[in-house]
């Protein structure tokens, strides 16, 4: 059964828009719930009202990919939050949602494609992370209906 394991929000960007500059220092804050607002994003997150029809109103990342990356690169002790995705899932094939509508805990989403890893991943997680995440960097999605997501099983 799929689960929503962790939720993360951040008030500002560390990497987005920082090309050629040092990364920012805005922490990812773990929260127990996220308030999804249709067409706008997650309240209190840096991408809330970022721009109209933005593809990454909410982002998802797989716990299984995170664990495989830790094992493959032999890097332990760094949390999944370093990837700056909003929702950490388990038991879900995120690639199946890349161009599909889906529902989680009563909230509807539209998958808009992969969260493609960038060169910052090597700095955030460790050398080789960008390459190891090719094709499995997570999912960007649009929020179609308002609602609240909570950690726990997805019925």
Note the pLDDT of residue 121.
83
Asked if residue 62 is part of any domain, the answer here is yes
Per DSSP, 137 falls in state S
Asked if residue 15 is part of any domain, the answer here is no
Asked if residue 80 is part of any domain, the answer here is yes
Instruction: State the residue range of the domain holding 110.
Output: 3-10+26-153
CA dist., res. 87 & res. 139, Å (int): 10
Asked if residue 16 is part of any domain, the answer here is no
Q: Find the angle CA(68)-CA(98)-CA(144) to the nearest 5 degrees.
A: 120
CATH classification at residue 107: 2.40.33.20
CB 75 within 8 A of CB 126: yes
- Counting the structural domains of the chain, the total is 1
CA dist., res. 132 & res. 122, Å (int): 10
Residue 89 structure tokens: 């899932």
Asked if residue 18 is part of any domain, the answer here is no
Tens of pLDDT along the chain (155 residues)?
A: 689 999 999 876 655 655 565 655 667 889 999 999 999 999 999 889 888 888 999 999 999 999 999 999 999 999 999 888 999 999 999 999 999 999 999 999 999 999 988 877 888 899 999 999 999 999 999 999 999 999 988 87
Asked if residue 19 is part of any domain, the answer here is no
What stretch of H or E contains 68? helix 63-73
Asked if residue 102 is part of any domain, the answer here is yes
Asked if residue 87 is part of any domain, the answer here is yes
């Amino acid at each position: 059964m799929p689960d929503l394991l962790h939720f993360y929000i951040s008030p500002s960007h560390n990497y987005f828009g920082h090309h050629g500059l040092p990364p920012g220092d805005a922490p990812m804050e773990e929260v127990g719930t996220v308030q999804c607002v249709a067409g706008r994003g997650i309240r209190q997150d840096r991408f809330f009202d970022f721009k109209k029809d933005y593809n990454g109103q909410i982002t998802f990342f797989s716990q299984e990919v995170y664990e495989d990356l830790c094992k493959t690169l032999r890097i332990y002790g760094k949390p999944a939050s370093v990837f700056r995705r909003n929702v950490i899932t388990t038991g879900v094939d995120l690639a199946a949602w890349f161009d599909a509508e889906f529902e989680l805990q009563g909230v509807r989403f539209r998958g808009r494609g992969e969260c493609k890893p960038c060169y910052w991943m090597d700095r955030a997680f460790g050398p080789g992370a960008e390459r190891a995440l090719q094709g499995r960097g997570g999912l960007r999605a649009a929020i179609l209906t308002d609602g609240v997501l909570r950690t726990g099983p997805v019925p």
